[in-house]
Structure 1
């Protein structure tokens, strides 16, 4: 299927973290479908390799990399592997993340769970952006898509308490604004995607719970949960020339939740 030139990613090199499952797999496939070669990074080596195989079915080159984004040394090696294989880095989808393992109000929330979520969802975004930007600044161009959440722009407890996730995603939102400003004159655009409820495994088995599904469906003005592949269009928009005059912004894709 032909696509407008403004959305064409032919010749671009993309790196997707958390590419082994959920929205990460969708991001990797979407960028490959738009013409990019894709580095598929995940803490699960087998999952990264499986997504890389999916990318190759689009006729694109792929590289599977194993990395824990909460470890800066592994992030450094991940970016180095990207440039060693492809010579450049044009698009980063800063997607790797985890949810609160045991959602509870703060007075009952585990400090161990707090630090684990912050380490991955915030520190991981910082480390990955830091090392990707070092490459992009040298090139004089690049796109960074930080994957935040609608819960980075509003509190979640009208539905359920997830304090660590909400805090981390709120920080990612403002980090995106900061990076957008810092690199606005460097040919680099930094924006964030803020998804609402998408049917993935991030929430563990929550989507198998009919009461949970009923609650979030009722909370969403469109009256449904998004399918994971519905994230593809917004991702390609932010990765492509279509968003060249957009930086430091949040693209909310939540079925209308934050319009309330």
Structure 2
């Protein structure tokens, strides 16, 4: 392969990646994108059944994966996943911190239960902290790495115009700015840290109803939802050498929502 070709620039062949929240949805699509393009992918998710099914499907397709059940809110489990990745594959080149949840009840702030607030931030922000810290601890000594933090278009604009999601909005806005902070902290360490900010994507079980799908499509300038596979190209850009001079950026994939 010509080292200066587009195929080489976007290649992740021979790289080792960790993807959290990899059992389903966009996490699965991103894990597939990396594995389909030659990476060895560690799949991490708390849903052990879905994780095993995803790993089986990918293995049957000839992809190289390692499934590790675990919860990003448990620091030791995340650190163990990174340790297993290094032990199995010799290092960690790419980390996709994707695991996340939304507000469970869609309540406005004054009506929101405190435990719902705490749980959303625990997964979306503290879980991402655990993931980034473990990955960076592996990447700094080797002097290279790519971290992709999955935020949301709601990290840049407020979702209340469509539905109230105060904890989700707060956590994803924090992910966007933490990504900027880490980009500067590790700019001279050979590590690029960027955020991927999806809009409305159609995945298994999402949207929850046809009515929700219609509302989301109407809210989107392109008047449709994205399919899960449409995130693959953006993820490969941030995970490959194509983005070697890009750090602290937010790549928004939202069909034009935040352009208005």
Same fold (TM over 0.5): yes
Residue matched to 2:222: 222
- For each residue in 1:100-130, what CA deviation from the matched residue of structure 2 results, as whole angstroms up to 9, or x when unmatched? 1100100101111111110000000011000
Mapped to 1, the partners of 2:22 and 2:206 lie a distance apart of 21
1:145 is the counterpart of 2:151: no
Cα shift at 1:81: 1.3
Q: Matched residues in 2 for 1:58 and 1:181: separation?
A: 39
Q: Distance in 2 between matches of 1:42 and 1:116?
A: 16
Q: In structure 2, how many angstroms separate the alpha carbons of the residues matched to 1:24 and 1:36?
A: 15
2:104 maps to 1:101: yes
Asked whether the equivalents of residues 53 and 62 of structure 1 are also in contact (C-alpha less than 8 Å), the reply is: no
Cα deviation, residue 61, structure 1: 2.0
Does the 8 A contact of 1:26 with 1:229 survive in 2? yes
Q: Per the alignment, in what secondary structure is the counterpart of residue 147 of structure 2?
A: strand
Runs ≥4 in structure 1, deviation > 6 angstroms? none
Which residue of 186, 191, 196 maps to 1:188? 191
Distance in structure 2 (CA, Å) of the matches to 1:258 and 1:112: 30
Aligned to 1:29: 32
Instruction: Give the match's secondary structure for 2:130.
Output: helix
Q: Which structure 1 segments of 5+ residues have no match?
A: none
- 1:155 counterpart = 2:158: yes
Q: 1:85 to 1:162 in 2, by over 3 A?
A: same
Decide which moves more: 240-249 or 69-78: 69-78
1:187/1:58 Cα in 2 relative to 1: closer, same or farther (>3 Å)?
farther
* Alignment correspondent of 1:245: 245
1:167-189 deviations in whole A, cap 9, x for unaligned?
Answer: 00000000000001100110000
Deviation at 1:86, TM superposition (A): 1.1
Q: How far 1:57 sits from its partner (Å)?
A: 4.1
Question: For 2:161, what is the secondary structure of its paired residue?
Answer: coil
Q: Distance in 1 between matches of 2:6 and 2:54?
A: 23
Alignment pair present for 1:56 and 2:63: no
Q: What is the DSSP-based 3-state SS (H/G/I as helix, E as strand, rest coil) of the residue aligned with 1:161?
A: coil
Report if aligned partners of 1:29, 1:54 keep a CA contact under 8 Å in 2: no
- In the superposition, the TM-score normalised over structure 1's length comes to 0.95
> Gapped runs of 5+ residues in structure 2?
none
Write the distance in 1 (CA, Å) between the matches of 2:124 and 2:178.
12
Superposition CA RMSD, Å? 1.4
Does the CA contact (< 8 Å) of 1:39 and 1:52 recur in 2?
Answer: no
Question: Taking structure 1 as reference, are residues 27 and 206 closer, same or farther at Cα in structure 2, changes over 3 Å only?
Answer: closer
TM-score computed with the length of structure 2 as normaliser:
0.95
